[in-house]
Amino acid sequence: MDRLFDAKTCERCHGDLGRVRLMSWFTEQTICMSCSDKESTIKKELRANGSQGAMEGCGYVPDPKKVLA
């Protein structure tokens, strides 16, 4: 958990975190708000299409087109 608070840059896009840092829903990465918004879109798309795979803590950021194919 210290990693979350000590991070200065997003582990995904490498952008500056500033004062906002979030834990990824899919991985253990510390991410910025922009990357979190992208994850939210992916989660909504997966849920809307009834995906049972690629859920919380799966260890990777799923591509809805591949998961739902």
Widest distance between CA atoms in the chain = 38
- Give per-residue pLDDT as tens, 55-68: 788 888 888 777 65
Q: What is the domain partition of the chain in residue ranges?
A: 2-67
Q: What are phi and psi of 10, to 5 degrees?
A: -65, 130
**Residue 12 amino acid letter:** R
Enter the tokens of residue 35.
Answer: 């990357």
> Which pLDDT value is given to residue 1?
55
Q: pTM score, two decimals?
A: 0.81
- Give per-residue pLDDT as tens, 4-53: 788 899 999 999 998 888 999 999 999 999 999 999 999 888 888 877 66
Q: Is 61 helix (H, G, I), strand (E, B) or coil?
A: coil
d(CA 48, CA 24): 20
- The angle at the Cα of 50, spanning 44 to 56, to the nearest 5 degrees, equals 60
